[in-house]
Structure 1
């Protein structure tokens, strides 16, 4: 399952690269189950489309929240890797708050 990899090298002309293993991701299992369910229940195109639209409407808020939160977490995790010798973003934010409200707590 981990032998198949999809990747990108030199993203935006930089040395940054990434890859993922599609058959190792949990989402792949869901897609396989969806296809099997459609075949077993002999669902019509109209029924499948209706089900997908209902699911999309239900998940819209969650997709927006995760679609913005996950990239921000990735940025926070990798923010210590920079050419300006700055601390990571969480440490910079913690220092800012501590310096701003630190004296107010005494």
Structure 2
């Protein structure tokens, strides 16, 4: 194919702010997990597919298959859709009080 650019599992985009490796990165509707650390404006490789263990809102309980959203203000995964960006789906249960939840990323939308 002459018009193929890349698989799209990992995108190289400008970091919207300083980011640490393993942190969630959001640029518009692209949401993924940084492969490395980067300063604001520098290119950062961001995985937009795969399953990652991510910090969550402690009070939220997730069942397998529950929608997971990213709250950019708190930098936590939440079940609250309103005002947040769809991140993916929970792949393991995570009770209230748990610090993290396993999320299969939805990919760049």
> Does the alignment reach a TM-score above 0.5?
no
Larger relative contact order, structure 1 or 2 (CA cutoff 8 Å, min sep 6):
2
Is the helix fraction higher in 1 or 2?
1
So what's the TM-score if we normalise by structure 2? 0.17
Q: Which one has a bigger Cα radius of gyration?
A: 1
- The normalised TM-score by structure 1 is 0.18
